[in-house]
Structure 1
Amino acid sequence: MKIIDLTMPIIDGMEVYSGDPPVNISLNSTIEEDGFEVRSLAFGSHTGTHVDAFSHMHQGKQSIDEIGLTQFCGKAMRVDASINFPENTGLFFNEEVNMDKFEKICSVQPPFVGGMLSEELEWNLLKQEIVTYTDLVSLENIPLGEPFTFFGLPLTINNGDGSPVRAIALLNER
């Protein structure tokens, strides 16, 4: 089994989406002074590689802590426009995807979709209760059209509209 990390590192002062809180990471305690090391973390729920809850763009929809864990992991495939999308499989795109793929995506009922999604597509996918992942890295290292197992588990944030995740792809080695 081969593991591919799809996670963007969270770094103090990193670039964030316009209007999102800045990322501030500072050393709070040190081994030399306190006998242990602890950092203070301050950033938004949509920092770095993250998953969006339905409530992110739709009032009254489920928050991140209300969505079942099975919707954040499972069978997945990196796809593009030339591939028939598999049913009930998470879909990942390594190129920008717009509303022209919405009906094709929804027709195969994926539990999650990730990649460079337009805001309009993301809004519509979340309305259909398909979680979305953004700011993934290294998708090009996943073979196109080959199934893999994906994990992108959120923190259990009460009433959370999203969460940073550690996203990984597990590939079967041949």
Structure 2
Amino acid sequence: MKIVDLSATIYHNMKVYPGDPQVRINIVHTYQTHEWELRELSMGTHTGTHVDAFSHMHVGGQTIDKIPLEKFCGKAWVANPQEILPKQCGLVFREEANIDLLEKIIAAQPPFVAGVITADLERELLRQEIITYTDLVNLDLLPVDQSFLFYGFPLKIKDGDGSPVRVVAILE
């Protein structure tokens, strides 16, 4: 078994989407002052590698705390837009997937779509209640023509529109 970390590292003042809150990580306690370390985090819910709830782009859409955990993991496949997409399997795009693929993706019935996707495609996938993950790294380490297990659980944020996640792929 091999585990591939698909998550970007979160750090103070990291680059964020224009207009999103800046990332602030401040040391509150140190070993010298309190005998332990503690950091305060301030960032947006769509910072770094993150998952989007249906409510992110649609009024009345389900929030992150209400989506069943089963939707955030499962069998996945690196998707090739020129080939037939596997059915009911998470799809991971290494290269930009755009709105032209919407019907093909919907026909495949994936529980989630991850990787490099345009905002227009993301909006429509969320409308169809297909979870989206963006800002993943190390996609080149995923196998082609072979399934793997994908895990990307969100923080349980009340009424959350999304959440940073630690996404991993488990390869056989």
Q: What is the aligned-residue RMSD (CA, Å)?
A: 0.6
Runs (5+) with no aligned partner, structure 1: none
Runs (5+) with no aligned partner, structure 2: none
Q: Is the 8 A contact 1:75 1:90 kept in 2?
A: yes
State the shift of 1:111 in Å: 0.4
Question: Within 2, Cα distance between the matches of 1:59 and 1:18?
Answer: 22
Alignment partner of 1:166: what SS?
A: coil
| Matched residue count | 172
Question: Within 2, Cα distance between the matches of 1:37 and 1:110?
Answer: 41
**Which sits farther off after the overlay, 122-131 or 138-147?**
138-147
Q: Deviations over 1:113-147 (max 9, x none)?
A: 01111110000000000000000000110011210
Where does residue 162 of structure 1 map in the other structure? 162
- TM-score when scaled to structure 2? 0.99
Where does residue 142 of structure 2 map in the other structure? 142
Amino acid of the structure 2 residue aligned with 1:10: I
Amino acid of the structure 1 residue aligned with 2:29: S
Question: Within 2, Cα distance between the matches of 1:13 and 1:40?
Answer: 14
Q: Deviations over 1:10-52 (max 9, x none)?
A: 0100000011000000111001110110001000000000000
Question: Within 2, Cα distance between the matches of 1:83 and 1:142?
Answer: 17
Q: Is the 8 A contact 1:83 1:145 kept in 2?
A: no
State the shift of 1:82 in Å: 3.1
Amino acid of the structure 2 residue aligned with 1:104: K
Question: Within 2, Cα distance between the matches of 1:81 and 1:120?
Answer: 16
Amino acid of the structure 1 residue aligned with 2:84: N
Where does residue 29 of structure 2 map in the other structure? 29
State the shift of 1:84 in Å: 1.7
Where does residue 58 of structure 1 map in the other structure? 58
| Overall identity of the aligned pairs, in % | 52
State the shift of 1:165 in Å: 0.2
Question: Within 1, Cα distance between the matches of 2:80 and 2:114?
Answer: 12
Amino acid of the structure 2 residue aligned with 1:64: I
Alignment partner of 2:67: what SS?
A: coil
Q: Deviations over 1:48-107 (max 9, x none)?
A: 000000000000010000000010000000111233211110000000110111100000
Question: Within 2, Cα distance between the matches of 1:65 and 1:18?
Answer: 26
Question: Within 2, Cα distance between the matches of 1:64 and 1:82?
Answer: 32
Query: Where does 1:94-105 land on structure 2 (aligned, <5 Å)?
Result: 94-105=94-105
Amino acid of the structure 1 residue aligned with 2:60: G
Where does residue 92 of structure 2 map in the other structure? 92
Where does residue 10 of structure 2 map in the other structure? 10
